[in-house]
Amino acid sequence: MNVPDDLKYTKSHEWVRTEGDTATIGITDHAQDELGDIVFVELPEEGATFDAGESFGSVESVKAVSDLYTPLGGEVVEVNSALEDAPEKINEDPYGEGWIVKLRTSEEAELLSPEEYEKVVEEES
């Protein structure tokens, strides 16, 4: 299981990369592996705002739909529209080309460290 050191995580298996007031969000390697072949991504509109804990979209594998939650409130400044035609990028490169959304946020969320996230995954299995 790949859990990069330089990211923060949520219990619902999203990763967050914070740069200034921008937070990039995706789903973890563990999450994509559990879902299997991802065939559809529902992305929010740019400019939409979400509260912390709110669902901003979904990813679907052949068999299952999984909601995406933002741990931080904010405004969507960019979505990875390449995923509309190539949702499998999430399987192939969950922390890189498979990023999902960028939020402008002023919030500080309580996120999990890589070590804490690894424990969450271990406890679930």
Partner 1 sequence: MEGLKRTPLYDEHKNLGARLVDFAGYEMPVQYSGIKTEHEAVRTRAGLFDVSHMGEAVFRGPEAEAAVQRLVTRDVGRLEVGQAGYSAVCYEDGGTVDDVIVYRREDDFLVVVNASNREKDLAHFRENTEDLDVEVADESDEWALLALQGPEAAKLLQDLTDTELSDLKPFRFAWGEIGGAEAIISRTGYTGEDGFEIYLPGGDAPQVWRTLIEAGATPAGLGARDTLRLEAGMCLYGNELDAETTPLEAGISFAVHLDKEQEFIGQAALKEEKEKGLRKKLVGFEMEGRGIARHDHQVTVNDEMVGHVTSGTKSPTLDRAIGLALVDSGVEDRFDVVIRDNPVPAKAVPLPFYKRDRG
Residues of the shown chain interacting with partner 1 in the complex, contacts defined by CB under 8 A: 36-37, 39-40, 42, 58, 60-63, 65, 84
Give the CA count within 13 Å in the CB-facing half-sphere of 35.
Answer: 29
Q: How far apart are CA 8 and CA 50, in angstroms?
A: 19
Q: Minimum CB separation from partner 1 for residue 39, in Å?
A: 4
Q: In the complex, what is the shortest distance from the CB of residue 36 to partner 1, in angstroms, rounded to a whole number?
A: 6
Query: Based on C-alpha coordinates, what's the Rg of the chain?
Result: 13
Residue closer to partner 1 by CB (options 2, 63) is: 63
Q: Which residue bears the tokens 């804490």?
A: 116
Q: Of 12 and 91, which CB lies nearer to partner 1 in the complex structure?
A: 91
Nearer of residues 39 and 120 to partner 1, judged by Cβ: 39
Let me know: does 87 contact 57? Beta carbons within 8 Å. no
> What tokens appear for 41 in the block?
């991504």
- Find the shortest distance in angstroms from Cβ 110 to partner 1: 28
Cα distances from 37 to residues 34, 48, 68, 70, 125, in angstroms, run 9, 28, 16, 22, 20
- For partner 1, the closer of residues 12 and 18 by Cβ is 12
Instruction: State the minimum distance, in angstroms, from the CB of residue 59 to partner 1.
Output: 11
